[in-house]
Amino acid sequence: MPDIRASDRERFHRLSKEGLWIVLGQTAAVLGSLVGVRLLTELLAPAAYGELALGLTVAALVNQTVLGPLANGVTRFYAPAQEQGDLGGYLSAVRRLMLAATGFIFLVILLTLAALLTAGRTYWIAIAVAALVFATLSGYNAILNGIQNAARQRAIVALHQGIESWVRFLVAAGLLLWLGASSAVAMAGYAIAVVLVLGSQYLFFRKTVNESGAAADPKHWQRQVWKYSWPISVFGMFTWVQLASDRWALELFKTTREVGTYAALFQLGYYPMSMASTMAMQFLAPIFYQRAGDASDSRRTADVNRLSWKLTGSALGVTGAAFLLALSFHRQIFHVLVASEYAAVSHLLPWMLLAGGIFAAGQTIALNLMSQMRTQTMMAAKIVTALAGVALNFAGAYWLGTSGIVIAAVLFSILYFTWMAVLSMRGAQQSLH
């Protein structure tokens, strides 16, 4: 009994230390983002800020369909590779997959240039290319972060997540003061900043991740990561359309200025809830994956399922508290964190927080499904809810502008959460039989 208690205390101490690092890193990232919103909204007019938001949708495309799914697959298979003593083969497979992804993105850049030149939209060339470069480098960083997080190198991950947000906005602000206030200059600042963070991340990666093993079969890990990741890439395309449609719907039916004010609202409302979800998932993903193993043991998956629902309940509780707080203090929050030109949408902040929180709760359930290797069962839910979200965004923008977009976000999040919950409960029932 004393040995068990000592083991429990040691485990609690280790998990507490890891959790503290994640909280510190994500808190620093959120603070950096909030300071960055203040800086950029002071330096950029709402129309230019709207152009930057539209440019970031291009970066989101790469994240959702190429490097983001790859990062998920790479993170998921670190634990099995370690258990099998083949980290060498696993990392060799990761390098090959990253090289293939980079070649595909380079092709996308060339096609984008050709399309913009043909359409005569030369003004957008600089911001589009900068956005794609930023997305590619951010994707590399996410893959390194994923491996180090899976290896439980929490302090290193927290360090880089904490500084990345600050460096990105500070470099962008410096370039805006030096070269002039334009969306392309801000995006170039984002790209330069991520180069600095990626360089530091790579140096730490080389020192801390032990590439041991004889690299028995890199192709085996390539197949495994690809099989796991391709469904995420497929529904990632639809997810991207949903994520980008709010800004482009406002651009189509309203003005670029309204896109800018909405982007500030999104960063103050939806983004913090998303970051809180990321913090929880970053802490729990390696634990879920290690507990689930290769997802062949029903007892291990049932344990992960119980933990997932506890986390989901906590996410909904935090969302409710944030919603009530924002109802009372949305004006004060906007006064402190955003330039005065953007304050007209402050009354929508509570509802943006609500949408972000409910979606974050759905993501915790999705993590449970991913730990059970059930990415393919998520495809229908991801695709249908994304398409519904697009329809809601365009209808909302057409009828009510920014208010309609916020209403659409709340409805989409509820639909997504409900569908993920149903999939999780069905999976739990099937594992019992």
Q: How many CA atoms are closer than 13 Å to the CA of 113, on its beta-carbon side? A: 10
Split at pLDDT 50, 70, 90, the class of 413 is very high
Report the pLDDT value the prediction gives residue 429, as an integer from 0 to 100. Answer: 66
CA-to-CA separations, 264 to 70, 253, 269, 319, in angstroms, rounded:
29, 19, 9, 20
Is there a contact between 198 and 137 (Cβ–Cβ < 8 Å)? yes
106 domain residue, yes or no: yes
Model confidence pLDDT, tens digit, residues 15-70: 666 667 767 777 888 788 889 999 999 999 999 999 999 999 989 998 999 999 99
Q: Is the pLDDT of residue 197 over 90?
A: yes
Secondary structure (3-state) at 322: helix
Report the pLDDT value the prediction gives residue 80, as an integer from 0 to 100. Answer: 85
The pTM assigned to this predicted structure is: 0.83
Closest C-alpha among 391, 392, 390, 379 to residue 419:
379
Q: How many domains does the chain have?
A: 1
Report the pLDDT value the prediction gives residue 5, as an integer from 0 to 100. Answer: 59
Which positions ≥6 away from 186 have C-beta within 8 Å? Answer: 40, 44, 48, 52, 172, 175, 176
Rounded distance, CA 207 to CA 220, Å? 26
Determine the distance from the C-alpha atom of residue 289 to the mean position of all C-alpha atoms in its chain, rounded to a whole number.
19
Most confidently modeled of 45-59, 60-74, 140-154, 404-418? 404-418
Model confidence pLDDT, tens digit, residues 178-196: 999 899 999 999 999 999 9
| Exposed / middle / buried, residue 119 (Cβ in 10 Å: 0-12, 13-18, 19+) | exposed
pLDDT, the chain, mean? 86
Model confidence pLDDT, tens digit, residues 80-122: 888 888 888 899 999 999 999 999 999 989 998 999 999 888 8
> Can you give the residue range of the structural domain that contains 88?
16-432
Report the pLDDT value the prediction gives residue 362, as an integer from 0 to 100. Answer: 92
Q: Is the pLDDT of residue 209 over 50?
A: yes
4 domain residue, yes or no: no
Across the range 362-377, mean pLDDT stands at 79
Closest C-alpha among 162, 172, 93, 100 to residue 136:
100
Closest C-alpha among 415, 37, 98, 50 to residue 225:
98
Split at pLDDT 50, 70, 90, the class of 421 is very high
8 domain residue, yes or no: no
Rounded distance, CA 274 to CA 315, Å? 11
Determine the distance from the C-alpha atom of residue 393 to the mean position of all C-alpha atoms in its chain, rounded to a whole number.
20
Split at pLDDT 50, 70, 90, the class of 2 is very low
